[in-house]
Amino acid sequence: MIKLGVLTSGGDAPGMNAAIRAVVKTANYYNIEVIGIEGGYQGLIEGKFHELTSRDIDYIADKGGTFLKTSRCPEFMKESGRIKALNVLKGHGINDLVVIGGEGSFKGAQKLHELGLNVIGIPATIDNDLSYTDYSIGFDTTLNTILECLGKIKDTDLSHDKTTIVEVMGRYCGDLALYSALAGAGEIISTPERKLDFEEICSKLNVKIKSGKKDNLILITENMYNIQELQKYVEDRLDISVRTSILGFIQRGGHPSAFDRILASKMGMKAVELLLKGYSGRAVGIKENDLINVDIEKVHSRVSSNNDKYSLLDTILA
């Protein structure tokens, strides 16, 4: 292996830059040149390549987002686009690639692997929705951002005896809402794994209010409800005033936490070492605090099944 390519794809996640840094540092340690591919798979097809040196990546580990940038690429979804991408790589002497991203990015990596390219995937998605790994890069930082926002909302709720419905990210996985509630930032929680209907939410909220707690936070995962419809239903049903807040993309930005930087560094180093050992079509992950690698074909997004954590949540919120 003489040249190694690295790209980030899909949604940005805090810690991606730390993973890039680790890939470059590890490769350079083994005298391997690293080529940064700008703009994900679109940049791969267009040949947006430049060499990455230690000078380029020494100061990026603490930055959010991805300095290699990312984008969607409809052309890459077609076989003709993938063959074009492969030819571009080979034309630049690149036979090995590290892909940093989520499930969609890994599917692209798998297709390149099937075409004969050596590819390793590193999980980076704030949703933490990949079934094979306990944590993906960006989840911890996003969770802490959410907790900071919720703490400020709860301050106002307490001051005015108000209830607020807050929608957090997660797509089809409720880990961000679940872990936020476990950390003490919610009285009522509804996630894809444990979805409450409008009446169940009102019933739980009514119990809280009758017990004397008038400041309550209802925490929900995105794409589950129309938040304005839920607000109106609760207000009409319980005759109270309710606020709503959608945290949105503020959750995806910001300086990565120490946990995410260290996790990204470990995974970046592991990815390069796997390629050096001749592995391909694998995804790096972490399970019970040990680094693992699995067949990238078996990587799928999931609805989380943290039953033990939901049991703990039930006790905490009782």
Where are the strands (E) in the chain, listed by range?
A: 3-8, 33-37, 49-52, 96-101, 118-123, 163-168, 188-190, 216-221, 242-246, 282-287, 290-295
Sheet of 282-287, strand order: 49-52, 33-37, 3-8, 96-101, 118-123, 282-287, 290-295
Q: Is 308 a catalytic residue?
A: no
Amino acid at 288: E
List of residues 6+ apart from 226 with CB closer than 8 A: none
**Cα separations (Å) of 162 from 124, 148, 216, 248, 263?**
36, 19, 7, 21, 39
**Cα separations (Å) of 239 from 110, 188, 236?**
54, 18, 5
Question: What is the bridge-based pairing of β-strands 282-287 and 188-190?
Answer: unpaired
Block residue for tokens 């009285």: 187
List of residues 6+ apart from 176 with CB closer than 8 A: 126, 127, 128, 139, 142, 143, 146, 168, 169, 170, 221, 251
Active-site residue (options: 12, 56, 58, 127): 127
Catalytic residues: 127
